[in-house]
Amino acid sequence: MTSSSHSSASTTLGAEVTPRHIAIIMDGNGRWARRRGVPVAQGHKEGGEAVQRCVRAALKNEVPFLTLYAFSSENWRRSHEEVGELTSLLRFYLKHKLADLHRQGVRLRIIGEPEHFGAAVCQELQRAEEKTAQNKRLTMLLALSYGGRAEMVGAARSLACKVEAGLLHADDIDEAALSASLQTHDIPDPDVIVRTSGEKRLSNFLLWQSAYAELIFLEKLWPDFQESDFSEIIKRYARRQRRFGGRPSGEEKASS
């Protein structure tokens, strides 16, 4: 399925409509730590525990795609110390938690520009992707050094190179062509994008892919995220009527 497809964007489990792809902006680790008077590193560590709860909930609810915004391209503006702590935490989870993900049937995919973390981290990420490549229960995309605008610039540059090489005509560039050039080209668009911490913005996250996503904003900080919150997201999604620019069901008859 390409990222521009909506026809099978959600699946029915029992009486409920379950989103096929949930994407989460995991916000609030620093505020969680400051409110408790503990180091920010502790907030990031607790955020890592919330990630594990989120993955368990996705598996339990049979959601096949989960994208987590772990580190944005703008996060490099943070202090050298905090970036180092985040990098160390990432390497810890790759070393100590990857086996659990693999055993649970989770496929790990990386989007963004992880090369900015250095060769050693990139090699570990590549090994993790290769180790879990054949898993089918859940595809978890980890957005690292990711920016939606940068992703679209990369897609446009790729298409321009094809035109320049005579492999593509400019008139053939349409939405499908651009979608096929994104890093998420083989992943369905998110049905719902969630942000924790009470902030209500996308912050350069999946800008192209979120065109028709339902948006859900949670007041709680990411380290406080529980499996029950994941279930509530699914319930809230099921209550919404997705139109993709069309009229709601039955409206055309009523207006005719």
The predicted-structure confidence for 164-192, as pLDDT tens digits, reads as follows 999 999 999 999 999 999 999 999 999 99
pLDDT at position 23 over 50 = yes
pLDDT of amino acid 16: 53
Which residues contribute to the annotated binding site for substrate?
28-32, 44, 72-74, 76, 78, 195, 201-203
Which residues contribute to the annotated binding site?
27-32, 44, 72-74, 76, 78, 195, 201-203, 214
Mean pLDDT of 104-125: 96
Residues above pLDDT 90, as percent of the chain: 83
Verify whether residue 27 is a known catalytic residue. Answer: yes
pLDDT at position 8 over 90 = no
pTM of the model: 0.88
pLDDT at position 250 over 70 = no
Catalytic-labelled residue, pool 75, 204, 224, 229: 75
Q: CA-to-CA distance for 109 and 106, rounded, in angstroms? A: 10
The predicted-structure confidence for 64-84, as pLDDT tens digits, reads as follows 999 999 999 999 988 899 999
pLDDT of amino acid 14: 37
Verify whether residue 186 is a known catalytic residue. Answer: no
User: 17-240 domain in CATH 3.40.1180.10?
Assistant: yes
Name the residue with higher pLDDT: 252 or 115. Answer: 115
The predicted-structure confidence for 207-241, as pLDDT tens digits, reads as follows 999 999 999 999 999 999 999 999 999 999 999 87
pLDDT at position 33 over 80 = yes
pLDDT at position 248 over 60 = no
Chain mean pLDDT for the chain: 90
Q: CA-to-CA distance for 148 and 216, rounded, in angstroms? A: 19
Confirm if 189 and 180 have CB atoms less than 8 A apart. no
